[in-house]
Structure 1
Amino acid sequence: MSRWDTVRPERAVLGVVRTLTALDRLLDVLPVLADDLRVETRFAVAAGSPFGADLGTALRAAGVPEVAWSQAGRFDLALSPSSNGALHELGIPLVTLPHGAGHAKLRATEHGHSPEVSGLSRTQLLHGGRVVPTAVGLAHQDQVAVLRRSCPEAVPRAEVVGDPCYDRLAASLPMREHYRRELGTGDRTLVLLASTWGEHSLFGARGGLAAELVDLLPPERYQVALVLHPNVWTRHTRMQLELWTRRARAGGLLLVPPLRAWQAAMVAADVVISDHGSLTCYAAALGKRLLLGAFGGHELVPGSSAELIGRRAERLSTPSRAAVDAAAPLPGHGELAERTFGPRSAARLRALLYRLLDLPEPDWPVRTEPVEPFSP
């Protein structure tokens, strides 16, 4: 403690991030620690990701205090929404959490994808033959079986904690009209294009689709928005993405920023056109009218919810107003939500974190907050 401190917390939590996506995920987790003056949170960057450029700048812009990696050992608990990086160097209790909607993708490598489950592989969870995380957070009980096949040594450390991102989206549905007002949607049909990263993503395979839809759909009846995975922003830069979408934006396309904005757009959307990324799972589980504009199925874990969506969802082959109007929710989307996200996460997450912090939980109830509105 410093004599300059006004509040003297009893525990210090370290958020570990490698990418903007990781930061976005952790900002959905931290509310379970809200209002407790006994707990203070800082962030550190785990170096090594090809999508980690300018992450320090993003942290500062978000008002997130950053500490040097070498100072991690003075914290009481670390939280990481990724199993990548030199997490074994932390030397403190560590909780890993899903990077997206469950663990649905195969582990990406320099030359493609390995057959290992991303986030649950022995390559990521073990160091020197020992399990690195103190707790491996899972979104659903069914993922314990996936972990048992991928890294059986880590099964005793599995904790089913749900998905805080999905829970916040679901809690935000009653505020849908508010988000639509903030977006300027009004009574129009909001068509949301949501792309993961990589050449088989929606933007990678059909980069001109947003412009096509802006040309096809009357602006007085439709609003078109584009959400790109943060890795796309990091790799290609804001300037380049604005250049690539200039004509579409001049025609009314809303290019949604990469941090803390896509959530409100997702809740507000009427139709979602997507691919094999996590946002497709969220859209399907929320009952959004869904079309697949691309689908990199070879990147997915066999039997995952994302793969199931690829088999059930309608494809958008030729863009047309009729195809957009005919879009429908995924058949069995309620069942999909139950098999993907499991129990509500806030209470389970808070119980786990306070147990590892060796603190009694606060005496007020934990609640899931709606997502922040976004105004273009």
Structure 2
Amino acid sequence: MLGVVRTLTALDRLLDVLPVLADDMRVETRFAVAEGSAFARNLADELHRCQAQVVTWDEATGKDFDLAISPSSNGPLHELEVPVVTLPHGAGHHKLRATETGVAQEVSGLSRDQLMHEGRVVPAVVGLSHPDQLAELRRNCPEAVPRAALIGDPCFARLQVSLPMREQYRESLGTGRRTLVLLASTWGRDSLFGRRGDLARELVATLPADYQVALVLHPNIWNKYDGLQIDSWTRSARRGGLILVPRLRKWQAALIAADVVVSDHGSLALYAAALGKPLLLGAFGHDEVVPGSPMELLGERARRLQPGDLRAQIDAARPVPGHRQLAELTFQDRPYQRLRTLIYQRLELPEPPWPAHPEPVDPFTP
């Protein structure tokens, strides 16, 4: 099997997917970078750090594979000579497709420009995380509707089973009895980091010692600016105790450990809300959000973090009203079983006799 990645975000999502193949020595997975993204820099190095088997794109486009999985509909997927399964790389399809001048009025991941090439639908399977996304696919690319498959969200499933390990995550972070405030930013000018980049420093300077602050930045921010620049921008805050969460595979534990989340229109906000975390929005890019989507509903319901007494607002933060309904509108049950069944059907192999269950995420120590 071939794992196709274009960005760190796609790699993060793919690493949530691959456990459905755990322990099965009939299946070997290799990885390739689909070039073309502005956020693909050093991606092959990141794959090597994960100890993945990496092949060149020329090798990937040969006939040595039986199936490819891509957590993105972008890139030269049409060059692959094997069936391709595409998956959302966030909490569903809630953003409009980004262009060089802004956004198009098409759903990112479901648009005709992304799913078709020279008049044919490229993916053999278009994975959806919720039944409501089928209507969006029909509006955006009706030709791909016969290829749609309801899978769910493996990342959210892992977050759910990680909830009982919350105290272990807090212990690893050194939180203790402190109130952990997690700042989480998507990428772009309307993101939390784009609009309120000094918020982490302000919170660290304002909140008393019985609070802890952590910052999660979208992988695209890390890729655009790299670690040295981000370390420079957050130096005062880190000296004051800010935890700068690493770029890959660590945000999940920080989210489970958090007492309050301050975020924007990124997927992490939707995960936080669906888990029932107290949530405040420090920014929100309305123009990037799909009308009628669960993310738009989140933007309507969640409280805003206003200038002024930050501690009082954080102390007063509550779960988003109707957060259980929000979760039902965003996610589907049994994603690991659904995804594993689909993969083995495509590989023309019988499923293993053991069950497909999500595993808790790993803790990390700053």
Give the TM-score taking structure 2 as reference length. Answer: 0.98
1 CA distance for matches of 2:47 and 2:147?
30
- How do 1:178-197 and structure 2 match up within 5 A? 178-197=168-187
Residue in structure 1 matched with residue 252 of structure 2 by the alignment: 263
- SS of aligned partner of 2:28: strand
2 CA distance for matches of 1:371 and 1:145?
32
Shift of 1:366: 1.1
Residue in structure 2 matched with residue 56 of structure 1 by the alignment: 44
Matched, 1:70 2:58: yes
Aligned length: 363
- Give 1:251's match in structure 2, choosing from 199, 216, 240: 240
- Give 1:365's match in structure 2, choosing from 334, 355, 365: 355
Residue in structure 2 matched with residue 4 of structure 1 by the alignment: none
Give percent identity, aligned residues only. Answer: 68
Residue in structure 2 matched with residue 45 of structure 1 by the alignment: 33
Residue in structure 2 matched with residue 158 of structure 1 by the alignment: 148
- How do 1:212-227 and structure 2 match up within 5 A? 212-219=202-209, 221-227=210-216
- SS of aligned partner of 2:29: strand
Matched, 1:149 2:136: no
**Structure 1, residues 348-376: CA drift from partner, whole Å, max 9, x if none?**
00000000000000011111101111111
- SS of aligned partner of 1:237: helix
Q: Is the 8 A contact 1:140 1:343 kept in 2?
A: no
- Give 2:14's match in structure 1, choosing from 5, 16, 26: 26
- SS of aligned partner of 1:98: coil
- Give 1:272's match in structure 2, choosing from 256, 261, 271: 261
1 CA distance for matches of 2:17 and 2:89?
12
2 CA distance for matches of 1:349 and 1:361?
11
Q: Which amino acid aligns with 1:22?
A: A
- How do 1:283-294 and structure 2 match up within 5 A? 283-294=272-283
1 CA distance for matches of 2:52 and 2:220?
20
1 CA distance for matches of 2:246 and 2:293?
28
Residue in structure 1 matched with residue 218 of structure 2 by the alignment: 229
Residue in structure 2 matched with residue 93 of structure 1 by the alignment: 83
Shift of 1:241: 0.2
**Structure 1, residues 61-105: CA drift from partner, whole Å, max 9, x if none?**
111111011112311100000000000000101100002000000
- SS of aligned partner of 2:204: helix
Shift of 1:320: 1.5
Shift of 1:344: 2.2
2 CA distance for matches of 1:42 and 1:267?
30
Runs (5+) with no aligned partner, structure 2: none
Shift of 1:343: 1.9
1 CA distance for matches of 2:184 and 2:334?
25
- SS of aligned partner of 1:306: helix
2 CA distance for matches of 1:323 and 1:82?
37
- How do 1:2-13 and structure 2 match up within 5 A? 13=1
Residue in structure 2 matched with residue 17 of structure 1 by the alignment: 5
Shift of 1:316: 0.3
Residue in structure 2 matched with residue 329 of structure 1 by the alignment: 319
User: Structure 1: which 4+ aligned runs deviate by more than 3 Å?
Assistant: none
Residue in structure 2 matched with residue 7 of structure 1 by the alignment: none
Q: Which amino acid aligns with 1:362?
A: P
1 CA distance for matches of 2:360 and 2:334?
14
- SS of aligned partner of 2:85: strand
Q: Is the 8 A contact 1:24 1:260 kept in 2?
A: yes
Residue in structure 2 matched with residue 123 of structure 1 by the alignment: 113
- SS of aligned partner of 1:153: helix
2 CA distance for matches of 1:186 and 1:65?
39
2 CA distance for matches of 1:301 and 1:359?
38
Residue in structure 1 matched with residue 69 of structure 2 by the alignment: 79
Residue in structure 2 matched with residue 206 of structure 1 by the alignment: 196
- Give 1:238's match in structure 2, choosing from 216, 227, 240: 227
2 CA distance for matches of 1:374 and 1:145?
39
- SS of aligned partner of 2:304: coil
2 CA distance for matches of 1:320 and 1:88?
49
Q: Which amino acid aligns with 2:243?
A: L
**Structure 1, residues 305-324: CA drift from partner, whole Å, max 9, x if none?**
11111100000012521110
RMSD of aligned residue pairs (Cα, Å) = 0.6
- SS of aligned partner of 1:159: strand
2 CA distance for matches of 1:339 and 1:320?
31
- Give 1:35's match in structure 2, choosing from 20, 23, 31: 23
- SS of aligned partner of 1:355: helix
Q: Which amino acid aligns with 1:227?
A: V
Q: Is the 8 A contact 1:32 1:350 kept in 2?
A: yes
- Give 1:281's match in structure 2, choosing from 270, 273, 276: 270
**Structure 1, residues 165-199: CA drift from partner, whole Å, max 9, x if none?**
00100110000000000111111110000000001
- How do 1:92-111 and structure 2 match up within 5 A? 92-111=82-101
**Structure 1, residues 232-264: CA drift from partner, whole Å, max 9, x if none?**
000011000000000000000000011000000
Q: Which amino acid aligns with 2:273?
A: A
